[in-house]
Chains A and B, each alone.
Chain A
């Protein structure tokens, strides 16, 4: 239990790749991560190594590895058998210039309009200062027909939210199609990891997405520990689980208010803001940082104080009351119910994660599928069936209650255990995987450590990467003024997705 299952590594070639991955998908595994690696110095022998990570629902991990030469960098596309694979391929095309052959969407995913076409920022010989004067259009499927008009929104919005561009094709007030353009906050995080010492990567991981500091840093640290073979004492693993639940609590409480606020019922948002603030102050007492930074370290995790269970219970009870007031309000309920439905079949096809998947009846949760600690009786996976805004709201409400119960349970278990000396982190090299159920969903980091404890490659997959494309599906036949409500109920991360 203390160490995660070592992955089953399958070697493949371009010819056998599709069959190998398809066989794993047929076992019910999902494609969680695809990472490209540059092997060897740039030259005629240089090649790309692409690792496909598939995760099962009982802790199984499979890595499919395929190597291709750099001067003939193409892959057979897997878009036909897995939608997420198609997205990963487009991401690799943008960042590494590896071309997925016969891809149904033959254009890059990550590319600013002003990047030169030959600029692939993850390559080691990429120009650090390219000529950023190129201009590219914005390819999107234009909807034509009588009365169809377009509404471009963003990337700069009227509210304080992250940048993203949404292009709506609308008839009257009904959305026919929505195309989103992201990657405005692509900061090159994965490249920033390269060359750092493993211990220095934690601070960077905490800053990938401000509201998921624990999720990202924990996934990163677990990947490093997996790579180096570090055993984490049980008490520290319990502390990590507790921190994850604290992060889930404050974010879900905030979302609760924000969703209802988008229906024009502001008072719930004010109270949710108050509850969030008391949770943030509690976070500061627990770890010294309101967003829970600095608590997770290689080989362990620290708390400055025991969790205040009365406060957590009080917040959970008040959040439940706020939720009951909201869903009991006929006007608010009318806005939430049956709005922006994501059918289970579509959710499964897109491979969505987290509360979005669970609201469509798919019980995907890394705390159950890939556990790093036994959470005991207090834990259950909250699901709903209808897949509308209401279901995503209800799943959050249920998860707040579960998280509060888990904090109480974990707090008691932690105080019953003696603090042990921290395990030494050995040197060495290796590759490892960290899988964590962050508040938005399953978060995966894959880390490769080279000689001297230097990071050679870190691949980050935020759940939002999988969930973003499903937003457009849920919007079919939704009216334009309901978009903010739908978007808030998904609440995908821009920073986590754009990296």
Chain B
């Protein structure tokens, strides 16, 4: 019991510490590849620190949603980081790290963001929320399905157990079921976290925004929570993908040495994956909004094939 609490605490601290660096690495990678200097790896951390120190400005007539939604998003992201096996597969016994629970927690943050967008009462917020929900509705089933495909050989839907099973049997990493599922998962992680080609995190064009449109009316500490909360989702999901695709180095208990190795392994994996994602973004443009469902439907088909295949193979 104490051991699993240690793991949770370590994972939370790790996620919060690594997340700004992850965003910094992604932005710097992209800047360098585009021939710019960029703001540096530490800039997102400085931004968050600045925002946290600022008093939020809230429009007159706004309801508590404006205050609660950022905290809800942040809390859901932290729960996500605690439930997903990042540094160690030792799970809390009383809380199921089940894939259905993880997807529900993910959805909780999504809904908090959408409510925040509607709360502002501006056309942009509503527009962003409606686009966000369209994408969420297409993304969530694929997340479920692709991880479900991986859970079939493991015989359990607990994420920690799936990762552990995959670690114990490295041959399963390269079978087509696994590759299809991981690919589908990568596509939906990109969509869920608002990266190109679904959403452009660096745009200043109000009319094309999805994520940015919902948080336009927030400022100061509220915005700080929102930024950090949505970045944490990226860390958690990238950590999940990395550990499912390559469960190398992840610990199975809370011994100090295994934890240190686990922390180092997941940090490197997440940063490399993030940098690769940012590098890929340089070469792609944003999809026309009405073609995003085609992309997501494609990833759903892959996940579905993966599930079907997993019953044939195992």
Which residues of A line the B interface, CB within 8 A? 149-153, 157-159, 173, 260, 262-267, 270-271, 274, 329, 331-332, 334-335, 479-484
Q: State whether the Cβ of B49 lies closer than 8 Å to any Cβ in chain A.
A: no
**Are A151 and B204 also in contact (CB < 8 A) when A263-B285, A270-B34, A335-B286 are?**
no
Smallest CB-CB separation from B134: which chain A residue? A173
- In the complex, per-residue mask of B96-129: 1 if CB is within 8 Å of any chain A CB, else 0: 0000000000000000000000000001101100
Smallest CB-CB separation from A335: which chain B residue? B288
Candidates A157, A331, A482; contact of B197 at CB < 8 Å: A331
Q: Chain A residues near B35: list those with CB within 8 A.
A: 267, 270-271, 274
10 contacts between A and B (CB under 8 A): A263-B286, A266-B202, A270-B34, A270-B36, A331-B285, A331-B286, A481-B288, A482-B288, A483-B207, A484-B207
Which residues of B line the A interface, CB within 8 A? 30, 33-36, 123-124, 126-127, 196-197, 200, 202-208, 216, 282-291
Distance in angstroms between the alpha carbons of A274 and B35 in the assembled complex: 10
Q: Chain B residues near A480: list those with CB within 8 A.
A: 127, 207
Q: Chain B residues near A335: list those with CB within 8 A.
A: 285-286, 288
Distance in angstroms between the alpha carbons of A40 and B239 in the assembled complex: 80
Q: Chain B residues near A152: list those with CB within 8 A.
A: 123
Distance in angstroms between the alpha carbons of A39 and B35 in the assembled complex: 59
Distance in angstroms between the alpha carbons of A143 and B205 in the assembled complex: 24
Candidates B202, B204, B207; contact of A481 at CB < 8 Å: B207
Distance in angstroms between the alpha carbons of A481 and B216 in the assembled complex: 16
| Inter-chain contact A264/B207, CB cutoff 8 Å | no
CB of B43, distance to nearest CB on chain A (Å): 17
Q: Chain A residues near B127: list those with CB within 8 A.
A: 151, 480
CB of B191, distance to nearest CB on chain A (Å): 14
| Inter-chain contact A158/B204, CB cutoff 8 Å | yes
| Inter-chain contact B290/A159, CB cutoff 8 Å | no
Distance in angstroms between the alpha carbons of A151 and B204 in the assembled complex: 17
| Inter-chain contact A267/B282, CB cutoff 8 Å | yes
Distance in angstroms between the alpha carbons of A157 and B207 in the assembled complex: 10
CB of A437, distance to nearest CB on chain B (Å): 30
Smallest CB-CB separation from B36: which chain A residue? A270
| Inter-chain contact A479/B290, CB cutoff 8 Å | yes
Q: Chain B residues near A149: list those with CB within 8 A.
A: 123, 126
CB of B145, distance to nearest CB on chain A (Å): 26
Distance in angstroms between the alpha carbons of A271 and B34 in the assembled complex: 8
CB of B30, distance to nearest CB on chain A (Å): 8
**Are A159 and B124 also in contact (CB < 8 A) when A274-B35, A331-B197, A335-B285 are?**
no
| Inter-chain contact B289/A481, CB cutoff 8 Å | yes
Candidates B124, B206, B283, B291; contact of A334 at CB < 8 Å: B291
| Inter-chain contact A479/B197, CB cutoff 8 Å | no
